[in-house]
């Protein structure tokens, strides 16, 4: 097989985004655009991937790490100039080179594979991936001759009125014979509306040198959207979101309303899990089978077992077991570990705490920095008092303990195995196992109190 290489253009600032964040780092469904591109390119079996970086080079390198090699484009003089920076890595190598823009996050490996195959079959020196756009404004247009062969690509800003009516656009993805590409690049000039070295000009140059130039039309325009501004970013997000939902549905996940369900590109969800509307699943979340998630829940970087129910709740960076019930209106904060069959109910906040199997905090509690054993019952209004204004302290509640309603557990403190804490207690000292702790003022009933109030008639 012909050796394959890839060049990813990621040096532009993205002025039209009007953002502090460099364009290719803007996330689509939680993943930076350039990472989407790299992930697809990685499926093509390429020998070398070169990312051309410039604006925000450090941040882009931080994102991509060792997934590719880098070429620095110090000044952004155009897309041809950008590809030229990859010359030290690629010039003179035999094989085909795919060039992709870092701002086309929806491009798929399947389409790039089809492009390469088309290129090989046509024995072309350059093949451009094109698409038919309803609104081609802003894109380079594909100018074909009467025989239907590609003549050149003309940028929107350089196009004549007539050329602007062409709806076939340049997607910014190409396949080149590697050696031909680097020869042609030396001939590109910047005599155009933007004073830039356009990569698109190599098409005309290769053609003039007698090389075959071909075009391959992408199955849909949607896949080739180039994100130059926030409007296109939202559009890309919408399309990617639908694509992700469709993939989960194909895998056997029920999504009641895909249009109001936001699932990150990295999430994995087991079959027969049902996702209700208004649910946002972010980061590298893993959800098992037969769960019910939502409505209106936000889950980020969580690992969730099977048959777990999460309704109207927020859970971040935590592990949640199987057969767990969470919510409505619960908040599981980072570094919590909730074992199987636990119930975290209405208005309960859990922070950096572990819950053993079968334990319950069903109503109105704050459990922070706590180690809760198995089969513990935390009554309504149980509070771990974990913070003295300076330091945080641990609360330990051992297996089978029963904490009554409205109990303050002043940390550091331990409630022993099988112990009871009476409702309304403020516990400052450890409670031994199997003991009953009562820490509240005794009730006093003052007889006939009401009758003795001045001006009050005896009834």
Q: Which residues bind Ca ion (CB under 5 A)?
A: 103, 226, 228
- Residue closer to ligand UD1 by CB (options 52, 330) is 52
Pull the structure tokens for residue 308: 């777990």
**In the bound complex, what is the minimum distance in angstroms from residue 380's beta carbon to ligand UD1?**
55
Distance in angstroms (rounded) separating the CA atoms of residues 50 and 91: 12
**In the bound complex, what is the minimum distance in angstroms from residue 56's beta carbon to ligand UD1?**
10
**In the bound complex, what is the minimum distance in angstroms from residue 409's beta carbon to Ca ion?**
57
Nearest to 5 by CA among 88, 96, 66: 96
* Binding partner at 81 among Ca ion, ligand UD1, none, C-beta below 5 to 8 Å by kind: ligand UD1
* Binding partner at 199 among ligand UD1, Ca ion, none, C-beta below 5 to 8 Å by kind: ligand UD1
- Residue closer to Ca ion by CB (options 170, 325) is 170
Q: What is the length of the chain?
A: 459
Pull the structure tokens for residue 4: 């394959």
Q: Kindly give the interhelix angle for 201-208 and 178-185, rounded to the nearest 10 degrees.
A: 100
Question: How, if at all, do strands 343-351 and 360-368 pair?
Answer: parallel
Contact 274, 254 (CB under 8 A): yes
**In the bound complex, what is the minimum distance in angstroms from residue 209's beta carbon to ligand UD1?**
20
* Binding partner at 171 among Ca ion, ligand UD1, none, C-beta below 5 to 8 Å by kind: ligand UD1
Contacts with ligand UD1, residue ranges (CB under 6 A): 9-12, 24, 52, 73, 76-79, 81-82, 101-104, 139-140, 153, 155, 169-172, 198-200, 226, 228
- Residue closer to Ca ion by CB (options 226, 416) is 226
CB-CB neighbours of 114 under 10 Å: 16
**In the bound complex, what is the minimum distance in angstroms from residue 173's beta carbon to ligand UD1?**
8
Distance set, CA 337 to CA 111, 261, 409, 437 (Å)? 42, 26, 20, 27
- Residue closer to ligand UD1 by CB (options 19, 76) is 76
Contact 18, 111 (CB under 8 A): no
Contact 15, 229 (CB under 8 A): no
* Binding partner at 102 among ligand UD1, Ca ion, none, C-beta below 5 to 8 Å by kind: ligand UD1
* Binding partner at 342 among ligand UD1, Ca ion, none, C-beta below 5 to 8 Å by kind: none
Distance in angstroms (rounded) separating the CA atoms of residues 356 and 375: 7
- Residue closer to Ca ion by CB (options 192, 228) is 228
Measured from each CB, the residue nearest to Ca ion is 226
- Residue closer to ligand UD1 by CB (options 104, 183) is 104
**In the bound complex, what is the minimum distance in angstroms from residue 34's beta carbon to ligand UD1?**
8
Q: Which residues are identified as catalytic? A: 363
**In the bound complex, what is the minimum distance in angstroms from residue 174's beta carbon to ligand UD1?**
9
* Binding partner at 50 among Ca ion, ligand UD1, none, C-beta below 5 to 8 Å by kind: none
**In the bound complex, what is the minimum distance in angstroms from residue 101's beta carbon to Ca ion?**
6
- Residue closer to ligand UD1 by CB (options 103, 323) is 103
Distance set, CA 372 to CA 9, 14, 156, 383 (Å)? 52, 50, 64, 13
* Binding partner at 233 among Ca ion, ligand UD1, none, C-beta below 5 to 8 Å by kind: none
Distance in angstroms (rounded) separating the CA atoms of residues 202 and 175: 12
- Residue closer to ligand UD1 by CB (options 103, 340) is 103
- Residue closer to ligand UD1 by CB (options 50, 253) is 50
**In the bound complex, what is the minimum distance in angstroms from residue 177's beta carbon to Ca ion?**
24
Q: How far is CA 67 from the centre of its chain?
A: 18
* Binding partner at 200 among Ca ion, ligand UD1, none, C-beta below 5 to 8 Å by kind: ligand UD1
* Binding partner at 169 among Ca ion, ligand UD1, none, C-beta below 5 to 8 Å by kind: ligand UD1
Nearest to 111 by CA among 225, 216, 233, 226: 216
């Amino acid at each position: 097989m012909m050796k394959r290489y890839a060049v990813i253009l990621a040096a532009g600032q993205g002025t039209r985004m009007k953002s502090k964040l460099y364009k290719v780092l803007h996330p689509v469904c939680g993943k930076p655009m350039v990472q989407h591109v790299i992930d697809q390119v990685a499926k093509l079996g390429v020998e070398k991937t070169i990312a051309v970086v410039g604006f925000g080079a450090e941040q882009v390198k931080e994102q991509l790490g060792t997934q590719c090699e880098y070429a620095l484009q110090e000044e952004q003089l155009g897309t041809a100039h950008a590809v030229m920076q990859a010359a030290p890595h690629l010039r003179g190598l035999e094989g085909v080179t795919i060039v992709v823009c870092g701002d086309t996050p929806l491009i798929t490996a399947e389409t790039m594979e089809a492009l390469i195959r088309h290129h090989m079959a046509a024995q072309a020196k350059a093949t451009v991936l094109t698409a038919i756009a309803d609104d081609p404004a802003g894109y380079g247009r594909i100018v074909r001759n009467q025989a239907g062969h590609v003549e050149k690509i003309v940028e929107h800003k350089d196009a004549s009125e007539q050329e602007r009516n062409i709806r076939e656009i340049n997607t910014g993805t190409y396949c080149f014979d590697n050696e031909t590409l680097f020869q042609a690049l030396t001939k590109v000039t910047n005599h155009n509306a933007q004073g830039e070295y356009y990569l698109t000009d190599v098409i005309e140059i290769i053609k003039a040198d007698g090389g075959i130039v071909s075009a391959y039309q992408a199955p849909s325009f949607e896949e080739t959207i180039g994100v130059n501004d926030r409007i296109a970013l939202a559009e890309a997000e919408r399309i990617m979101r639908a694509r992700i939902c469709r993939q989960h549905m194909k895998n056997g996940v029920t999504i009641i309303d895909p249009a109001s369900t936001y699932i990150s590109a990295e999430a994995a969800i087991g079959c027969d899990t049902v996702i209700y509307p208004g649910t946002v699943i972010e980061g590298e979340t893993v959800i098992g089978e037969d769960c019910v998630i939502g409505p209106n829940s936000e889950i980020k970087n969580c690992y969730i077992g099977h048959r777990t129910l999460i309704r109207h709740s927020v859970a971040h960076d935590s592990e949640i077991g199987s057969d767990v019930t969470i919510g409505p209106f619960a908040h599981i904060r980072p570094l919590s570990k909730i074992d199987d069959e636990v119930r975290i109910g209405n208005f309960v906040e859990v922070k950096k705490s572990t819950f053993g199997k079968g334990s319950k905090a069903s109503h109105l509690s704050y459990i922070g920095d706590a180690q809760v054993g198995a089969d513990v019952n935390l009554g309504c209004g149980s509070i771990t008092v974990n913070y003295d204004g300076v330091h945080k302290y641990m609360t330990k509640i051992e297996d089978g303990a029963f904490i009554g309603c409205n109990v303050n557990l002043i940390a550091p403190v331990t409630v022993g195995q099988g112990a009871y804490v009476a409702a309304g207690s403020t516990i400052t000292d450890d409670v031994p196992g199997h003991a009953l702790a009562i820490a509240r003022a005794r009730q006093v009933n003052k007889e006939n109190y009401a009758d003795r109030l001045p001006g009050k008639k005896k009834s």
